[in-house]
Amino acid sequence: MVVRVAVNGYGTIGKRVADAVAKQPDMKVVGVAKTRPSFEARVAIQRGYPLFVAAGGKVEEFGAAGLPVAGTVPEMLEVADVVVDAAPDKVGRENALLYEAAKVRAVFQGGEKADIAETSFTAGANYSAAKGKRSVRVVSCNTTGIARAVAVLDRHYGVESWDATIVRRAADPGESKKGPINGILPTFKIPSHHGPDVRTIFPHLNVQTIAVVVPTTLMHVHVNRVRLARPAQDAPELAQAFRSARRFHVFEEWEHVDGTPQVMEFARDRGAARPDMMENVLWAHGIRVDGREAHFFQAIHQESIVVPENIDAIRAMFDLAPDAEASMAITDRTLGISRS
């Protein structure tokens, strides 16, 4: 079976999900939807994705730009088995009605509230929860990053509590309207929403998050303070635990990766179709272990980390793979995610 996937919203996440779907042996892109013509729409057409006009968009504008349009979103849904909703935050709520009416399954993103779907999802943590579901919500980039790391440490040591300071990038690299240009903005709500959001995956986890926004576009960085249930031996042991898991990349000190500028430089160097880091990024020399206390940094690429999770979500919904490992193995191989 080849699942027919539509992507509604062709921005940072949508365009990446479309490209990822196109690489899967068991899925194909039947359409992507955008509201207005842009360089991104032009690239979509060049890639051969049928282009549909999203709600609020005008067909004439695409015509004026010389971009052929295949129809509107309801028409796109007619030819799809599942739609990945990558519309702006909160818009998914409206779209959900449309999807239900069209009897098309749906994958939502973490900008929507948890109750929009039957389950929230991170492949490495609760793959089976999405099996056979008609709607699934892939949690947001920071939540995915935390959930993945929790899953690893929980498996190896058990996790008693998880405190994270989330140093957030203020805008994506392709955005030019958002600031701040110079300054740090605390997210005054303590705890930030990320903690409760992680509990949509790990309901009983004692997790607390606090966030600040900083003037950079590349990646988020988490400062993690974890209390384990059983002691770890040392930092290299913890590094190895992460290295042996899927979707983690651990840099060594001799690699001279001083921070997110060099992480993204590596992403550009390794020559994937996009310069993305779909892995959680850690530094072996940025881990400290003291018995049951573990402290470590991880960097999260907000633009791409949820992409493989969207793919696995679809696979789980349509039962295209026996289990998480089987699905993730296909996803990772096709997307060029190797273990470090």
Restricted to residues 18-57, the positions that interact with its own copies (CB under 8 A) are: 19, 36-40, 42-43, 46-47
62 is catalytic: no
Among 102, 129, 214, 326, binds its own copies (CB under 8 A): 214
Which of the stretches 1-9, 103-111, 261-269, 325-333 binds its own copies when contact is defined by CB under 8 A?
261-269
**Using CA atoms, how far apart are residues 110 and 188, in angstroms rounded to an integer?**
20
Q: What's the closest the beta carbon of residue 253 comes to its own copies, in angstroms? A: 8
Among 141, 213, 226, 277, binds its own copies (CB under 8 A): 213
User: Residue 6, interface with its own copies (CB under 8 A)?
Assistant: no
Closest of 171, 191, 189 to residue 181, by C-alpha:
171
Contacts to its own copies from residues 64-103, by CB under 8 A: 64-65
Contacts to its own copies from residues 147-176, by CB under 8 A: 163, 165, 167, 169-171, 173-176
Beta strands 287-290 and 293-300, pairing class = antiparallel
**Using CA atoms, how far apart are residues 150 and 145, in angstroms rounded to an integer?**
9
The residue whose two tokens read 């930030």 is 192
**Using CA atoms, how far apart are residues 298 and 248, in angstroms rounded to an integer?**
10
Site string for its own copies, 114-143 (x = CB under 8 A): ------------------------------
Dihedral angle sign, alpha carbons of residues 246, 276, 120, 212: positive
Contacts to its own copies from residues 175-194, by CB under 8 A: 175-186, 188, 190-191
Q: Do 89 and 111 contact (CB within 8 A), yes or no?
A: yes
The residue whose two tokens read 């958002």 is 178
Q: Name the residue nearer to its own copies (CB basis): 59 or 184.
A: 184
Spatial neighbors of 152 by CB under 8 A, at least 6 apart, are: 124, 241, 242, 245, 248
Q: What's the closest the beta carbon of residue 285 comes to its own copies, in angstroms? A: 5
**Would you name the residues annotated as active-site residues?**
141
